[in-house]
Structure 1
Amino acid sequence: MIDVFICEDQKEQREKIINYLTNYIMIENLDMQLALATDNPEELLTYVKESKRAGLYFLDIDLNHKINGINLGAEIRAVDPNGDIVFITTHSELSYLNFIYKVAAMDFIIKDNFEEVQGRVISCLKVASERNRLTNKVTSKKFVQKIAEKIVSVDYEDIMFFESSPLHKVVLHLDNRQIEFYGKLKELEKEYEGFIRCHNSFVVNIDNIQEVNFKEKKILLKNGETCYGSARMIKSVQKKLEADKALLK
């Protein structure tokens, strides 16, 4: 879900932009929602700092406020580095500020022709939606397992580690629960390149490691659980984490 934001001080123009994007989102059934439309940049910043989703921001530059749109864009970029920012303004001569403040805007729309504005707004919605679709396609891989009469499907990103259990079973440790099923660790480590065999009894999701203590051979996961590595196998974990020195002890 993408949160869409508007910061425009002129009520009439703000309402036009609201109509453009809400109608298009509804007609195309996009995975977006209008989160906030305001004339107050401070209200927008407060909302963004509390939100955990990437956003799409339509910002006027002249907001009749101590914070102008360019400054607002720079502050948003610091909080939401993956968000898309679009400036809508009558001041075409200010476009160079986008580069000075390193905002990296998706578009810079001039208000001279508001019919053209509608097309450009819709174009930005399309681009943001497609980027979101492609990102989700890459990141939302599923681990699917048949357990008794049920089929369980979980996102790879929710998997902390797999642990061997007696009677040829495996315990899947998720972010907030555990699932037991019949299986073999050596088959699971081939499932996804991020699953690393760190011990005869453990296969860990490298993406969810918070910290590794190589002296004690302990691996701390993001959900607070701990699994262990063997003297030989933990070296494969170390190789994967070499680029991120903050995780190594």
Structure 2
Amino acid sequence: MSYPIIICEDNPIQLKKITTLVENYLLFHANFFNLSLAVQTPEEVLKYLKTSNSNNGVYILDIDLKSNIDGIDLASEIRSRDINGNIIFTTTHEEMAPTTLKRKVAAVGFIEKDQTVENYRDELYGTLEYIKKLIESSKEYPKQNFIFEIGNQIFNFDQSEVFSVESSPIPHQLVFSSKHGQYEFYGKLNALESKYSFLFRLNRSCLINPMNIQQVNFHSRDVLLKNGVTKKFSIGKATKLKHALLNL
């Protein structure tokens, strides 16, 4: 599977320059990316989005598109249709960078036009390589939902909502802590540790989700989770815990 690159630049000379740079990059990365669209108007991009069902696309956008839709407006529309899209802004308006943060379009790169072709190329290629690594990482560590049963009910939690799972004082029962509260169900920690790769064994009786760690004190061996609860870990877990956090 290859991921689409979409370019939108109203200036035909700039469009040709960016397109040529991308085509040269694709000589060595055609198996991962493909140039799907290179156009001058945001309307053409919107038309493409309606029919393409893009996922993890790369969008290289000029901010000032000389249209009633500017690059930030276009990025917002892209984000609503391709939630995992990777947006690169290319512009002479460096002062617009804070606006992209306020509008929550989550741009991966912000490349200035007013620089040499060589520097522009290096920034563009570096950003494309970074996007490639992001996509590869997302495939390497697929997201899992945490699912369990209580009586006749099945509960399904997004991975990001999971804080911890630990042994209950009641034999064979576990206590599950999430953003939405606590639940008790029958199960075994060892089975859950094997099933859910995102869980980390903090100690004999507790699994945690490293994604929801707020702070780690390696001196006192305390982990503070985002729900305000502190858990202890043994000195033997310190190195593994550091690796788990770095892998995030």
* TM-score scaled by length of structure 2: 0.56
Per the alignment, residue 120 of structure 1 pairs with 123
Per the alignment, residue 23 of structure 2 pairs with 22
| 2:106 match: secondary structure | coil
* TM-score scaled by length of structure 1: 0.56
In the alignment, structure 2 segments of 5+ residues that lack a partner are 162-179, 181-248
Please show how residues 47-62 of structure 1 align to structure 2 within 5 Å: 47-52=48-53, 53-62=55-64
Indicate how the Cα distance of structure 1 residues 24 and 238 shifts in structure 2: closer, same or farther if over 3 A, else same. Answer: farther
Indicate how the Cα distance of structure 1 residues 241 and 12 shifts in structure 2: closer, same or farther if over 3 A, else same. Answer: same
Match for 2:90 among 85, 88, 91? 88
1:133 CA drift (Å): 1.7
Deviations 1:136-189 (A, max 9, x none): 23349xxxxxxxxxxxxxxxxxxxxxxxxxxxxxxxxxxxxxxxxxxxxxxxxx
8 Å CA contact retained: 1:30, 1:129: no
Per the alignment, residue 70 of structure 2 pairs with 68
Indicate how the Cα distance of structure 1 residues 237 and 103 shifts in structure 2: closer, same or farther if over 3 A, else same. Answer: farther
Deviations 1:49-101 (A, max 9, x none): 32223211000011111111111111111111111101100111111210121
| 2:104 match: secondary structure | coil
- Aligned pair count reads 157
- The yes-or-no answer on 1:7 pairing with 2:8 is yes
Per the alignment, residue 134 of structure 1 pairs with 137
Distance 1:234 1:102 in 2: 37
Indicate how the Cα distance of structure 1 residues 72 and 242 shifts in structure 2: closer, same or farther if over 3 A, else same. Answer: closer
Indicate how the Cα distance of structure 1 residues 237 and 130 shifts in structure 2: closer, same or farther if over 3 A, else same. Answer: farther
Per the alignment, residue 81 of structure 2 pairs with 79
Distance 1:92 1:131 in 2: 25
Please show how residues 39-50 of structure 1 align to structure 2 within 5 Å: 39-50=40-51
Distance 1:64 1:41 in 2: 10
Distance 1:132 1:106 in 2: 12
8 Å CA contact retained: 1:9, 1:63: yes
Identity %, equivalent residues: 34
Distance 1:132 1:30 in 2: 14
- Over the aligned positions, Cα root-mean-square deviation in angstroms equals 2.8
Indicate how the Cα distance of structure 1 residues 235 and 99 shifts in structure 2: closer, same or farther if over 3 A, else same. Answer: same
| 1:9 match: secondary structure | coil
Deviations 1:94-127 (A, max 9, x none): 1121012111111111111132111111012111
- The yes-or-no answer on 1:37 pairing with 2:49 is no
